[in-house]
């Protein structure tokens, strides 16, 4: 028997404190049925990871949200990367692997490091600020569109666009409706920004469009792949940086440890991703009757993978709820796993490392000075506001 639970993982109360519900789902069994949405779910580390690795049994091509593309028309043109399986996925992923390769990202390191230093200096001069708007959003909104090769105007549109898409993976609830309320101008802007002529000749965008000349992809495909960059490149790292700053502010001993050894910056960012899991969930759809922990789940079933619950599963992690930048956190699923593992992780990790290293070298005190406000999103975990004071040292 698959346990049936009436947990709603897409409501405010759940987002305010998902951890008791995560534990209830993990403890109920390897796979559970969520009555409110008529979907199955996995929340234990081993089962989430196994599902991520078995793309043949668990397809992404029917959408990685709750909506089944085999039954419902997708709300936007499906992604050629996220919402595909091999062989199509292999072709687009190969290109994105090249565009976002470690060598390509390394070439941006100095510019990204300068931007991180400048940002922290500026925030120290101000003393008090909002760590979401002025740090977690400000940094990716500068460095990422620059790297893509976008013009300076309207970059902030990337935030509502990401908010829209990441809400769209969940049900058509009030969070989704609010996010798409004024969608038209944002969608039109994103589409226009994806065109070759809208982009500089040197960035990631140009690199994607260059593959058209090589005959690797069609022009229309290049535009949809640039759209993937614009969707995935800002909100994710915003919430990753937010998670890291929020962890360091709540665990002062950890911040002291980082200050004492700024070379821990990369490990600190990774641990924040494990603990907070900015991308909380994705769905898969079964391509055949499968068994999960001995329970049969029929073909065509939507299964919700709780990455955030897997990353705090006590079956896998000692002191799962504790931030510990020296733990061995490799294997966390905050960046996914398998063929769809985050293609932007190299860039995200560099951004996290550089911002945290600048904090470690320049800041002696990090202090939350007001009520943190959560941002509600059907997929992303993060804050809307985090009032903070920093002292140089
Ligand atoms: C988490 C691709 C990737 C990145 C797309 C798309 C959207 C979101 C993400 C999720 N994503 N990190 O539209 O192709």
Whether the CB of 380 sits within 6 Å of ligand 1:
no
Q: What is the pLDDT of residue 163?
A: 96
- Our mutation pick for probing the ligand 1 site, out of 228, 235, 334, counting the most ligand atoms within 8 A of Cβ, is 228
Q: Residue 262 maps to which CATH number?
A: 1.10.630.10
The sheet carrying 302-306 orders its strands as: 4-5, 32-34, 39-42, 302-306, 281-286, 58-59
Ligand 1 site, residue 237, Cβ cutoff 6 A: no
For the chain, percent of residues with pLDDT exceeding 70: 100
Rounded Cα distance between 184 and 128, Å, is 35
Q: pLDDT band for position 10 (50/70/90)?
A: very high
- Check: pTM over 0.95? Answer yes or no: yes
> From CA 269, how far away is CA 247, in angstroms rounded?
9
Query: Residues 227-284: pLDDT tens digits?
Result: 999 999 999 999 999 999 999 999 999 999 999 999 999 999 999 999 999 999 999 9
Cα→Cα distances 108→69, 71, 114, 242, 268, Å: 37, 43, 10, 22, 21
- The CA 166 to ligand 1 mean position distance, Å, reads 8
**247 CB-near residues (< 8 Å, 6+ apart):** 254, 268, 271, 272, 275, 276, 323
Number of structural domains (the chain) is 1
For the segment 143-152, what is each residue's pLDDT rounded down to a tens digit? 999 999 999 9
**How far, in Å, from the CA of 370 to the mean position of ligand 1?**
32
Give the whole-angstrom CA distance, residue 149 versus residue 195: 11
Closest residue by Cα to atom 9, ligand 1, is 232
Ligand 1 in reach of 342 Cβ (< 6 A): yes
Q: Which domain holds residue 162?
A: 4-392
- Please tell me if the CB atom of residue 279 comes closer than 6 angstroms to any atom of ligand 1: yes
pLDDT of residue 268: 98
Question: Ligand 1 center to residue 338 CA distance, Å?
Answer: 15
Pocket test for ligand 1, best of 232, 334, 377, 378 (most atoms within 8 A of CB): 232
């Amino acid at each position: 028997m698959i346990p049936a639970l009436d947990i709603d993982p897409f409501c405010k109360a759940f987002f305010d404190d998902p951890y008791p519900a995560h534990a209830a789902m993990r403890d109920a069994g390897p796979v559970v049925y969520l009555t409110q949405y008529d979907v199955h779910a996995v929340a234990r580390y081993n089962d989430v990871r196994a599902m991520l690795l078995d793309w043949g049994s668990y397809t992404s091509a029917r959408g990685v949200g709750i909506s089944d593309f085999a039954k419902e028309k997708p709300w936007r043109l499906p992604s050629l990367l996220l919402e595909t399986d091999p062989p199509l996925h292999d072709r687009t992923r190969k290109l994105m692997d090249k565009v976002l390769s470690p060598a390509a990202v390394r070439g941006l390191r100095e510019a990204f490091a300068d931007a991180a230093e400048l940002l922290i200096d500026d925030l120290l001069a101000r003393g008090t600020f909002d760590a979401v708007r002025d740090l977690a959003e400000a940094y990716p909104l500068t460095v990422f569109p620059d790297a893509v090769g976008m013009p300076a105007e309207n970059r902030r549109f990337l935030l509502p666009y990401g908010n829209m898409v990441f809400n769209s993976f969940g049900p058509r609830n009030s969070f989704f409706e609010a996010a798409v309320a004024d969608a038209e101008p944002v969608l039109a802007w994103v589409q226009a920004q994806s065109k070759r002529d809208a982009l500089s000749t040197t960035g990631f965008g140009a690199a994607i469009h260059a593959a058209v000349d090589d005959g690797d992809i069609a022009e229309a495909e290049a535009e949809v792949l640039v759209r993937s960059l614009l969707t995935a490149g800002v909100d994710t790292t915003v919430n990753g940086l937010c998670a890291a700053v929020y962890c360091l502010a709540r665990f002062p001993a950890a911040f002291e440890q980082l200050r004492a050894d700024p070379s821990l910056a990369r490990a600190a960012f990774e641990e924040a991703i494990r603990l907070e899991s900015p991308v909380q969930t994705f769905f898969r759809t079964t391509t055949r009757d499968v068994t999960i922990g001995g329970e049969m789940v029929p073909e065509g079933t939507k299964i919700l993978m709780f990455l955030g619950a897997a990353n705090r599963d006590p079956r896998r992690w000692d002191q799962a709820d504790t931030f510990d930048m020296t733990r061995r956190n490799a294997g966390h699923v905050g960046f996914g796993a398998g063929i769809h593992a985050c293609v932007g992780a190299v860039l995200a990790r560099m951004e996290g490392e550089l911002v945290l290293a600048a904090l470690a070298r320049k800041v002696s005190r990090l202090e939350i000075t007001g009520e943190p406000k959560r941002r509600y999103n059907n997929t992303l975990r993060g804050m809307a506001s985090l009032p903070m004071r920093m002292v140089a040292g």
